[in-house]
Amino acid sequence: MQKDGEHGFWLYDLKVETVLDGRAPVCRHVEGEAFRVIGENLVFDGPAKLSMYALAAVLPLLPAKQRDTDPDDWMSTDAEVACPDPHCGGRLRIIREARRWYSHAATTGLPDQRGTPYWKDDK
């Protein structure tokens, strides 16, 4: 895909929010605590903390949620991931937010296609 003559791709920024909806947590799940996924980075606001077990459950889904998916794909419609502890009511809700453009040259590791890494660009 190209935008303004530059090869690249779109990714959604994601917000991953702890929800309980009345269920009792076993692990430390604080309703409303959240982090954002911006490109490859997990960005925590303030003092938010997250169980590494809950994080491990949600991590594999994040790259797919960042990308456009077919409206009938469950990846488009389903947004909550349960904590892996079967006795725990904690869930993480993945919310798609704005889309952001990433240049291929700024993100690839291929030496012959590599430009300035996105994290060194001031754009």
Residue 81 in the binding site for Zn ion (CB under 5 A):
no
Using CB under 5 A, which of 90, 103, 106, 107 touches Zn ion?
90
43: which strand partners?
36
Please count the residues of this chain forming the interface with Zn ion, following the rule CB under 5 A: 5
Using CB under 5 A, which of 85, 95, 105, 108 touches Zn ion?
85
4's CB contacts (< 8 A; 6+ apart) are none
Residue 82 C-beta: closest distance to Zn ion, Å: 8
The two tokens of residue 69 are 């998916």
81: which strand partners?
92
DSSP codes of every residue in 25-37: PSS---TT-EEEE
Stretch that binds Zn ion, among 32-40, 41-49, 79-87, 111-119 (CB under 5 A): 79-87
- Tell me the one-letter amino acid at 10: W
Question: What is the contact mask toward Zn ion in residues 16 to 55, using x (rule: CB under 5 A)?
Answer: -----------x----------------------------
Alpha helix (H) ranges present in 51-116? 52-58, 62-66, 74-77, 104-107
Q: Give residues in contact with Zn ion (CB under 5 A).
A: 27, 83, 85, 88, 90
